[in-house]
Amino acid sequence: MLGQASAITADSGIEYRLCAIEDIDFLAGEFEVVTSSLAFHYVERFDLVCQRVHRCLVASGAFVFSVEHPMFTALATQEWCYGSKGERLHWPVDNYLQEGPRQTQWLADHVVKYHRTVATYVNTLIDSGFRIAKLLEPEPPPEMQNEPDGQDDRRRPTFLLIAAVKTPTP
Ligand SMILES: C[S@@+](CC[C@H](N)C(=O)[O-])C[C@H]1O[C@@H](n2cnc3c(N)ncnc32)[C@H](O)[C@@H]1O
């Protein structure tokens, strides 16, 4: 992914690093914006991520990210319930309040995702010194709604997007 990213961008201001999210260790106040796309549900300690991001942001800096929606990560199967004719009956949600690892098959065997509730995402941010600016559970854009899963992807949220702002330290 880093190879692909550097092949399609040519901005000398970009520095690519191969590094686990858990190991980020940037200077205090180094960034105005920190963003992440669909990665934090692979990280066990979201509270530590929030603390480190908070530290490396300037005052009023933005923290914007997406994760798989907790309705998606609650059950490791991540699959519809089907009827006798193979029709999709409903999306199952169970053990929603039992946070922690889920052994999934996601493009490969034994992929561990970490399920957290929406409340945990929101309250961990608040407890780490952020204000929630926006929370989205987007549906597919119109051009994707005629694709095979397009309508079914409107039956439950797939993604949770949060924009948060660093609040002044009291
Ligand atoms: C679903 S992909 C998202 C990729 C890309 N950000 C996007 O939105 O298309 C999840 C990515 O998170 C990375 N990842 C998972 N756990 C990670 C961790 N602990 N530290 C850094 N990256 C991680 C995986 O290697 C993978 O590239």
Band (pLDDT 50/70/90 cuts) for residue 27 is very high
Which is nearest to 130 in space by CA: 77, 51, 71?
Answer: 51
Task: Give the residue, out of 18, 21, 52, 102, with the most ligand 1 atoms within 8 A of its beta carbon, to mutate for a pocket test.
Answer: 21
| Cα 169 to ligand 1 centroid, rounded to whole Å | 30
Which ligand 1 atom is at minimum distance from the Cα of 43?
Answer: 19
DSSP states along 44-107: S-HHHHHHHHHHHEEEEEEEEEEEE-HHHHSSTT---EE-TTS-EEE----STT--EEEEE-SS
Q: What is the pLDDT of residues 66-102, one digit of tens each?
A: 999 999 999 999 999 999 999 999 999 999 999 999 9
| Cα 114 to ligand 1 centroid, rounded to whole Å | 13
Band (pLDDT 50/70/90 cuts) for residue 170 is low
Q: Whose CA is nearest to atom 26 of ligand 1?
A: 39
Ligand 1 contacts CB of residue 39 (under 6 A) = yes
22 by DSSP, 3-state: which? Answer: helix
Q: What is the mean pLDDT of residues 118-124?
A: 98
